[in-house]
Structure formats: structure tokens, C-alpha cells
């Protein structure tokens, strides 16, 4: 029933993905460690136990102590988050101490003034979205900068120019799949439209995919290529947004009304805040490309820019006739 509250959201797919990953890890640990060392694990350890431990570890570990440096720090990990703290300066550091700095010390400091007897807070992570905060820590913030949606764009293997497009993407630090985090109230991520133009490149614009243009094509794609190409990216994104919005079982207006209720359970409130945030971002993306589609006739395209460079068209778009 709780998962139904986040139906259609990216949080749901992420949550299910994490649960599948943890199940796989538990199966390996159970077979290779727990069952093989019954003397060390005389009691029964269930998947729910393992999932709880995974959640505790994920929510309490400090960013600098992940990966190979994974460690928990009792007491320090009890400190709570405060969204009012917006300092990007880290609230903790790990440093050497003692003779020749052989001892490692974890130092915690507050970025704000604190009076005697007041609780100390830190900022967990300014870059996490509400969906990430919900998954890792079990709370959300009423802050539009936390509302985001990750657009996943991919070069289709069925594309007749698949190899060329993949080569161009890789030459410019990207790949077959690209992820773009769009934040509510902010402009589109850099290179998103450039990558979209590459995805939709075809027809009479396919000449840009030839080896002759390989080192310059990305530069060309940073500006409108043709009306057809620009219209394609607008339609692709608008259709994707409409499809994503249709997967939610409530509207933004219905969610906002629900948030005004005083009898909301905390987990239900988290679900509503995440899904309404995602929907607002999707509508924002849709509006950007809808407006862009209405401006297609006013854009300057590759052929026009090229003719200007060659001196055949003036700055006002007039054809220049050269006398012999």
C-alpha cells in the first residue's frame, strides 16, 4: 500500500532496484558467510534483518567514509540534519593526530553558532534530491531545489547511424546512455539539448555524421541544426513527459490538497512530496520544449550560419549577390 503511494515515480523504481540488489547481496552473504560459519552466526538472520542493517549503514555513514574507506562512527552519526544550513563547507573532516599523525581522528564541527544546551545540526547533502533524501534518510524538504527528475537518454541500437553517433558521444565524454538531472526552477543541464540533437540527427542532416565533421560535429550540435531536427527533439521530449505524467495516479492539484491535511502519516507525506515534485519538474520540462517548438521559425540553423560564414547571406538574412 505504501509503494502504491509512489506509483509512477522514479523513487519507486529506485527503491525496487535497491531491494533487488540487497536481496542478491544477502543471498551471497548467506551462502558464503552465514551458512559456512554457523559457529559465528548461531541465530537466524533473515533478509529483513539484512535489509534493516543495509538501511542503517546507508543512512549513517558519512560521505567521505564510503567505498574502500567504509566505516561507522558511533555517537557522531547521531547528529541530525537541518535544511536551513546551506553552507557547502563540510561539517566534518578526517585527519591524522598523534606521533607522526599515525592516529586517524574524525572531527565534527557545526557550521552555525550554537548556544549552550541547543542541539547541534549539520547539512547531510545539499545535492541530494527529495527522492534521494527519502530513500537514504526517510525525510523530505519543502524546498524546490530538492525537486528533480532524471531524464535518461539513449542512442538506440536500431538507429541506422548508431555506430557514428556512439563514436561522437564517446569523443565528447559521453556514452550510449546519458543521464540529466533537471531541477525545478533551474535551466536545463548543459549538453542535454546537444545530446538530444545527436539522438535525433538523420535525414538530410546525416551528412554531419560523416568522418569529415567528426572533430567539429559536437560544436555544430551546440546550436540548432535544422528545423526538422529541432522539431524532433521538442516532440520526443514532450511525448516522454506526457507518458511519464500519465503513470501517476494523482494530479498536482490533488497532491497539494492532500498535503494540507493534518492527519497525514509521515511516510504518506514523504510519498506525496516526492511525486508532486517530480510532476512539477516534468511539467516544467514539457513547457520548455513546447515553448521552444513555437519559436522554431525564429531560430537560426546550420545552413544559414554556414552561408553567412561564406559571405552569401548578410546579418539580416538577405542574400548577397557578388559581382564578377
Q: Distance between CA 16 and CA 120 in Å, rounded?
A: 34
- Residues 64, 94 contacting (CB under 8 angstroms): yes
Q: Distance between CA 148 and CA 131 in Å, rounded?
A: 8
DSSP-derived pairing of the beta strands 148-154 and 92-97: unpaired
Other Cβ atoms within 10 Å of 242 Cβ, number: 11
With H, G, I as helix, E, B as strand and everything else as coil, classify residue 141: coil
With 0-12 / 13-18 / 19 or more C-beta atoms within 10 angstroms meaning exposed / middle / buried, residue 97 is exposed
Beta bridge partners of 97: 103
- Residues 164, 209 contacting (CB under 8 angstroms): yes
- Residue 124 a catalytic site member: yes
Q: Distance between CA 66 and CA 281 in Å, rounded?
A: 30
- Read off the DSSP letter of residue 319: B
Q: Distance between CA 208 and CA 75 in Å, rounded?
A: 59
Please tell me which residue in 121, 124, 149, 195 is annotated as part of the active site.
124
Q: Distance between CA 114 and CA 276 in Å, rounded?
A: 35
- Read off the DSSP letter of residue 63: G
Helix spans in the chain (H): 10-29, 47-60, 130-137, 162-171, 192-200, 217-221, 227-246, 252-259, 266-294, 302-309
Q: Distance between CA 188 and CA 195 in Å, rounded?
A: 12
**Mind telling me the catalytic residues?**
124
Amino acid at each position: 500500500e505504501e509503494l502504491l503511494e509512489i506509483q509512477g515515480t522514479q523513487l519507486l523504481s529506485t527503491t525496487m532496484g535497491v531491494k533487488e540488489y540487497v536481496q542478491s547481496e544477502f543471498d551471497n552473504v548467506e551462502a558464503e558467510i552465514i551458512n559456512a560459519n554457523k559457529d559465528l552466526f548461531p541465530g537466524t538472520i533473515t533478509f529483513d534483518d539484512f535489509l534493516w542493517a543495509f538501511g542503517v549503514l546507508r543512512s549513517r555513514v558519512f560521505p567521505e567514509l564510503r567505498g574502500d574507506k567504509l566505516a561507522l562512527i558511533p555517537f557522531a552519526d547521531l547528529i541530525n540534519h537541518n535544511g536551513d544550513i546551506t553552507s557547502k563547507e563540510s561539517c566534518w573532516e578526517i585527519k591524522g593526530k598523534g606521533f607522526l599523525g599515525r592516529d586517524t581522528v574524525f572531527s565534527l564541527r557545526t557550521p552555525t553558532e550554537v548556544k549552550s544546551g541547543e542541539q547541534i545540526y549539520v547539512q547531510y547533502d545539499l545535492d541530494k534530491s527529495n527522492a534521494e533524501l527519502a530513500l537514504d534518510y526517510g525525510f523530505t524538504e519543502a524546498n524546490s531545489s530538492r525537486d528533480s527528475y532524471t531524464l535518461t537518454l539513449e542512442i538506440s541500437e536500431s538507429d541506422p547511424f548508431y555506430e557514428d553517433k556512439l563514436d561522437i558521444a564517446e569523443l565528447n565524454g559521453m556514452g550510449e546512455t546519458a543521464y540529466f538531472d533537471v531541477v525545478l526552477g533551474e535551466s536545463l543541464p548543459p549538453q542535454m539539448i546537444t545530446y538530444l540533437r545527436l539522438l535525433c540527427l538523420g535525414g538530410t542532416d546525416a551528412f554531419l555524421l560523416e568522418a569529415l565533421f567528426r572533430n567539429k560535429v559536437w560544436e555544430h550540435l551546440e546550436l540548432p541544426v535544422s528545423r526538422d531536427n529541432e522539431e524532433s527533439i521538442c516532440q520526443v521530449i514532450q511525448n516522454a513527459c506526457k507518458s511519464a505524467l500519465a503513470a501517476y495516479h494523482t494530479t498536482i492539484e490533488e497532491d497539494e490538497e492532500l498535503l494540507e491535511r493534518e492527519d497525514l502519516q509521515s511516510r504518506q507525506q514523504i510519498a506525496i512530496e516526492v511525486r508532486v515534485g517530480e510532476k512539477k519538474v516534468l511539467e516544467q520540462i514539457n513547457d520548455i520544449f513546447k515553448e521552444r517548438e513555437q519559436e522554431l521559425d525564429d531560430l537560426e540553423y546550420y545552413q544559414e550560419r554556414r552561408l553567412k560564414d561564406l559571405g552569401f547571406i548578410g546579418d539580416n538574412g538577405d542574400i548577397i549577390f557578388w559581382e564578377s
